[in-house]
Structure 1
């Protein structure tokens, strides 16, 4: 049981980290006027976000 509880807490922390990253990343984009810079930031963060999802496990997000 302890192992499951630790795993669930890990998922919770993971979700919080991802959520905070997304919020900060959108704030960052809004602060930029240039569309091209925004596209680059979206692309770069999308790759990192996918790495985070893989790290956290897809099951924890659905």
Structure 2
């Protein structure tokens, strides 16, 4: 199961283990179990960081 964390300073969503940001966690993060929970928390469009989005797209293409 994926773990999402939201960096409150950069307003970016990350997936644990998908980018370098998740190796050394900043202090200002909130953890979520789903992408929808993160969207509900911030109340606006939350975007994945570039590295996480690229990795996520690659995994989706491999599944199909």
Instruction: State TM-score, norm by structure 2.
Output: 0.30
Q: Structure 1 length normalisation: TM-score? A: 0.30
Q: Per chain length, whose mean CA-contact separation is higher, i.e. which structure has more relative contact order (CA < 8 Å, sep 6+)?
A: 1
Q: Which has the higher helix share?
A: 1
Tell me which structure has the larger Cα radius of gyration: 1
Q: Higher strand share goes to which structure?
A: 2
